[in-house]
């Protein structure tokens, strides 16, 4: 599904050049659950942003679904992103002005889906995530765990092939964290590819494979299955 080869990302200021990703290469197959780990500043988030088509690499190749997309324009990337990729963030990133229902509905609006169809899909996913009773609440009215469930609901509502999770349990207590990890595992078992950045060895154990980064390079790859 994803194949990156010699991927590079360099941040430059006037005096300093920081190599975030240094000729990084790996492959993720469809249906895999991959954890990316490493110390702060090792390039995990940069990698996730590039994989999520939120950022451009400076060099190397990025093949997504057999398509070379390393140098696609922003609007082309947005087209691929909205159809194929769901995101889960550490800080949930829900829109405060929208209700739970409306937050989850948003990706479907951008896909120009009809209102009746949207309603059906949103309600289905809210039920699945067990937050249907909170559908008319605003994010601030929910607990952290509930907010992350909503965020996961939003990430999966359009049935993406890939979910990118950036420390999804970072802001949650262990019980809520475990619940979210279980949700991701369930989704993976239903066929969704998941790439997750985490600091937590405990969370990483839910994945099939751990890629460890240091200074923008892969230093170790452990298979857990």
Q: Which residues bind another protein (CB under 8 A)?
A: 45, 49, 52, 54-55, 74-75, 78-79, 81-83, 87, 89, 93-98, 102, 106-107, 109-112, 154
- Choice between 43 and 107, CB closer to another protein: 107
Side-chain-facing half-sphere of 87: CA atoms under 13 Å: 19
Least distance (Å) from another protein to the CB of residue 91? 8
- The least CB distance from residue 52 to another protein, in Å, is 7
Q: In which region does residue 178 sit, left (phi positive, over 0), alpha (psi from -120 to 50) or beta (all else)?
A: alpha
Pairing state of beta strands 209-214 and 217-223? antiparallel
Distance in Å, CB of 55 to another protein, minimum: 5
In the complex, the smallest distance separating the C-beta of residue 77 from another protein, rounded to whole angstroms, is 10
Please choose, from the candidates 49, 163, 159, 173, the residue with its C-alpha nearest in 3D space to the C-alpha of residue 113: 159
Select 116 or 175, whichever has its Cβ closest to another protein.
116
Q: Which is nearer to another protein, 26 or 89 (CB)?
A: 89
Q: Which is nearer to another protein, 103 or 169 (CB)?
A: 103
In whole angstroms, the minimum distance from the beta carbon of 208 to another protein comes to 25
Which H or E element spans position 24? strand 17-28
Phi, psi dihedral angles at 31 (to 5 degrees): 90, 0
Cβ proximity to another protein, 82 vs 208, nearer residue: 82
The DSSP line for 153-213 is HHHHTT--SEEEEESTTTTS-HHHHHHHHHHHHHHHHTT-EEEEE-S-HHHHTTSSEEEEE
Least distance between another protein and beta carbon 193 (Å) = 18
Nearest to 138 by CA among 101, 106, 91, 169: 101
Which CB, 49 or 61, lies closer to another protein? Answer: 49
- Give 196's strand partners: 35, 165
């Amino acid at each position: 599904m994803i194949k990156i080869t010699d991927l590079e990302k360099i941040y430059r200021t006037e005096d300093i050049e920081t190599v975030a990703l240094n000729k990084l290469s790996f492959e993720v197959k469809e249906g895999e659950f991959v954890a990316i780990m490493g110390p702060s500043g090792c390039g995990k988030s940069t990698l996730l942003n590039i994989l999520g088509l939120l950022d451009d690499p400076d060099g190397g190749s990025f093949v997504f679904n057999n398509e070379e997309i390393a140098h696609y324009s922003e609007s082309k990337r947005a087209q691929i992103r909205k159809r194929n990729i769901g995101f889960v963030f550490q800080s949930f990133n829900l829109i405060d002005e929208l209700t739970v229902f409306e937050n989850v509905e948003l990706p479907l609006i951008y896909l120009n889906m009809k209102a009746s169809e949207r309603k059906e899909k949103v309600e289905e996913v809210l039920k699945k995530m067990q937050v249907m009773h909170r559908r008319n609440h605003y994010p601030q009215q929910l607990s952290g765990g509930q907010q992350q469930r909503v965020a996961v609901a939003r990430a999966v509502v359009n049935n993406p092939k890939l979910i990118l999770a950036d420390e999804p349990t970072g802001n949650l207590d262990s019980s809520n964290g475990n619940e979210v990890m279980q949700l991701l595992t369930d989704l993976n078992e239903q066929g969704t590819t998941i790439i997750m950045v985490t600091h937590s060895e405990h969370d990483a154990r839910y994945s099939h494979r751990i890629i460890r980064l240091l200074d923008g390079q892969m230093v170790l790859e452990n298979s857990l299955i």
